[in-house]
Chains A and B, each alone.
Chain A
């Protein structure tokens, strides 16, 4: 169980850094946004992993079940809203990318830089 738990955290670290790499190293703006959603997903995974209780159920009461362990509802609430906020901000980012494409004719970072600083 110990190693399985650590693996969850290592996958979090891996995903966070894969997303971060896409944001800093990829010149394509859409790719950067995909990387940003990977980064977000990694944070979601961290929170949900922390809320888990061994041998517990999802925090929804069921009739006839007493003395049952439940996982923590709080991280789930935070992440549930964060997912929807995440897609809204991603949509805003995509809107900005589309406007950049219309103004500059490209969505590659280095080409935009060249147009701005000829």
Chain B
């Protein structure tokens, strides 16, 4: 039954992807890519990846759609007819697809407990996590502790991308900058009663859920990356309803810039404190006298750092796009 459902969703995924590429209207393509994200999140959930499904749903269907729509408002909504159909591209793509499909015939079968992925470090993580860190969610344990270096690197990539967008779009628009109060830009959806009422009801709960995902990440699916995306989505919803200027009153630009750097600094700072206390970089065991408690405190701190940076970057990017356009 489950496999039948998987096949159905996977087929829908392929159809949606084809429709995205086929559609000349970019607005339609972006909306379809939101549906695509929800579908693939369902697949992730069926494949036992609850954390990944939560991230994909929050990022792919929420933030990504808003950013693409923001970019469309500044560029063009329709794609032009291409001058050539590029038959070579089609030939290359079909050939590569055939090679890939031939390659899949040699993969381990789905769900094989003896596949190489399952026999290397994964069993060690599953067996030793109760002993070393003693938290139920092994994904969070691997993310924050065993592979803490990796995650620190990822946070720096997010930080760098955020800085890059601020450099590209931070400078005022060549068409003359408008004040945030002028024109319809500051108004948002304030004159539409139903979206405004429903949105106002939803925002506190979205924020609460974001905080729950942030601080309950050791026990259930969640953590800094997901929480950052969810909290950013709540603030973006507020900005869409009340106008960008109001959202900037809640979280001003200087605070967002501080959050981008501060979160990464908190993460790196925990690593340095571990060094100073005589351990290895990002080895949280030395933080308290009990190594297991130390690991848990370290995880909580670095997850907070991740959440702060991700929220800051996503909101800064949104404001950088919004400041250029006429929402």
A49 CA to B21 CA in the complex, in Å? 24
Cβ of B47 within 8 Å of any chain A Cβ, yes or no, is yes
Q: How many residues of A contact B (CB 8 A)?
A: 88
Interface residues of A in 55-81 (CB under 8 A from B): 55-62, 69-81
B136 touches A1 (CB 8 A): no
Q: Which of B80, B104, B142 contacts A9 (CB 8 A)?
A: B104
A20 CA to B104 CA in the complex, in Å? 18
Q: Which of B110, B122, B130 contacts A4 (CB 8 A)?
A: B110
A10 touches B104 (CB 8 A): yes
A109 CA to B174 CA in the complex, in Å? 22
- Smallest beta-carbon distance B303→chain A, Å: 12
Residues of A within 8 A of B67 (CB): 87, 90-91, 94
A28 touches B79 (CB 8 A): yes
- Smallest beta-carbon distance B29→chain A, Å: 6
Residues of A within 8 A of B197 (CB): none
Residues of A within 8 A of B321 (CB): 94-95, 98
Q: Which of A6, A34, A61 contacts B20 (CB 8 A)?
A: A34
Residues of B within 8 A of A107 (CB): 75-76
Residues of B within 8 A of A56 (CB): 48, 111
Interface readout for B121-151 with A: 1 if CB under 8 Å, 0 if not? Answer: 1100110011000001111011100010011
A58 touches B221 (CB 8 A): yes
Cβ of B297 within 8 Å of any chain A Cβ, yes or no, is no
B151 touches A81 (CB 8 A): yes
- Smallest beta-carbon distance A117→chain B, Å: 14
Q: Which of A4, A75, A98 contacts B6 (CB 8 A)?
A: A4
Q: Which of A1, A18, A31 contacts B18 (CB 8 A)?
A: A18
A56 CA to B154 CA in the complex, in Å? 29
- Given pairs A7-B7, A69-B113, 12 additional interface contacts (CB within 8 A): A12-B104, A22-B20, A24-B93, A25-B82, A25-B93, A28-B79, A34-B30, A60-B50, A61-B129, A71-B48, A92-B161, A98-B169
Q: Can you list 6 contacts pairing A with B, beta carbon distance less than 8 Å?
A: A8-B110, A31-B21, A38-B17, A74-B125, A84-B158, A85-B161
